[in-house]
Amino acid sequence: MKIVSGKIGEIEIDPAKIITFADGVIGFPDFKRYVELEFLENSPLKLLQAVDSSDLGFIMINPLIFEPDYVADVTIDELKSLNTDKPEELVTMVFVTIPEDPYEMTANLQGPVIINLNSRLAVQIVNHNQKYSTKHRILKADRQASNAQ
């Protein structure tokens, strides 16, 4: 199946890899089918591309890469919507905002996406843990200094 991504052009996808959000993504309830694509070679960043809209795509990352203690507060009902009660079937991703200066990129730790790797069902939740913000810096100042050398 071919789709068009506004970020990477036309691409062939396996329909079995389509991720379905029963309620859509927050702010985009009409778009329910997405596919995860490589965004940059050898990068932890992924593109969550809407199958039915070339203009709708989100940059995502696994939050454990930069926040190893991150926990998404998932309710029993949210787990049921993913057709599982097994946490090992789930992966958590968060949306990334990349401004002009990529060292300033942030992740939305308040609105993670939980994906069931087996059923390909997903839900975006509101993480009520006040420890996390919608604009969590991914690259810390000490990492910036070491990258400048």
- For residue range 41-79, what is the model confidence (pLDDT) as tens digits? 889 999 999 999 999 999 999 999 999 999 998 888 888
- 120 located within any domain: yes
CB-CB neighbours of 107 under 10 Å: 28
The pLDDT assigned to 145 comes to: 46
In sequence order, the β-bridge partners of residue 36 are 48
- The whole-angstrom separation of Cα 114 and Cα 92 is 5
- 23 located within any domain: yes
- 147 located within any domain: no
The pLDDT assigned to 116 comes to: 95
Length of the chain: 149
Whether the model clears a pTM of 0.85, i.e. scores above it, the answer is yes
The pLDDT assigned to 144 comes to: 44
- In this structure, the strands spanning 121-124 and 19-21 are parallel
Which of these, 66, 67, 65, 63, lies nearest to 115 by C-alpha position? 63
Structural domain containing residue 49: 2-141
- 97 located within any domain: yes
- 79 located within any domain: yes
Which of these, 56, 72, 55, 73, lies nearest to 64 by C-alpha position? 72
Whether 81 and 123 have beta carbons less than 8 Å apart is answered as yes
**Which residues of the chain carry a pLDDT beneath 50?**
143-146, 149
Tell me the backbone φ, ψ of residue 92, rounded to 5 degrees. Answer: -110, 135
CB-CB neighbours of 106 under 10 Å: 18
Q: Give how many domains the chain has, as a whole number.
A: 1
* Domain harbouring 43, CATH code: 2.30.290.10
